[in-house]
Structure 1
Amino acid sequence: MSRVPDDVVWMRASASDGDDAVEVARLPDGGAALRRAADPDCEPHVYTAAEWEAFVKGVDAGEFDLPG
C-alpha cells in the first residue's frame, strides 16, 4: 500500500512534542505510516505489516538503544 487512507488515526507519543515529533498511523492492511507532525501534508513513510512488526520487535529487544 503506497497511499494512506484519509480516515486513518494519527497518534503521537505523549512525550513527543515540538517540530521534531513524529506521528504514526495503523493502516488497514496491518502496516503503518509515519510522518513528521510539523508537516502533516508531506507524504508519509509507509511500512508493510512485516516491516513494522520487525521494527517493533527490534525496539522491544533494545536494538535501537543508544550506548551509555
Structure 2
Amino acid sequence: MQRSTMDLSSVAWRKSSRSTGGNCVEVAIVPGDPAVAAHKAQADELYLVRDSKDPDGPALAFTQGEWDAFVGGVKDGEFG
C-alpha cells in the first residue's frame, strides 16, 4: 500500500447511508494522477477507499476495472 502524496483534503468522500457506529470506509472518485498512485498512472480515474476513522491515513487506489471486480464480488457474496 502506497501513501498518497496528493492533497486529498478537498476530495468529496462518500460513505454508505447504512453506515453506523463509525466502522465504515469512505469512497471517492478522482482523476487518474501519478501523485495518487504512481503504479496506476495510466488510469483515467481512480476509486479511492479510506477508513473513515482515520481520514488522514492511507487511501487505497483502484482502477475502474478493479473497482468493478470488487463490487461484483460483493454482490455475488464472494467475501461473506
Asked if residue 37 in structure 1 is aligned to residue 52 in structure 2, the reply is yes
Tell whether 2:72 aligns with 1:47.
no
Matched positions, count:
64
Q: Deviations over 1:11-63 (max 9, x none)?
A: 01111133321111112233211111111011211112221111112122222
Seen in structure 2, the aligned counterparts of structure 1 residues 48 and 3 have a Cα distance that, compared at 3 Å, is farther
Match of 2:77 in 1: 62
Distance 1:4 1:49, change over 3 A: farther
Q: TM-score, normalised by structure 1?
A: 0.71
Considering Cα pairs closer than 8 Å and 6+ residues apart, tell me whether 1 or 2 has the greater RCO: 2
Give 3-state SS (helix, strand or coil) of 1:27's partner. strand
CA RMSD of aligned residues (A): 2.0
Q: What 5-or-longer segments of structure 1 have no aligned partner?
A: none
Structure 2 gaps, min length 5: 32-43
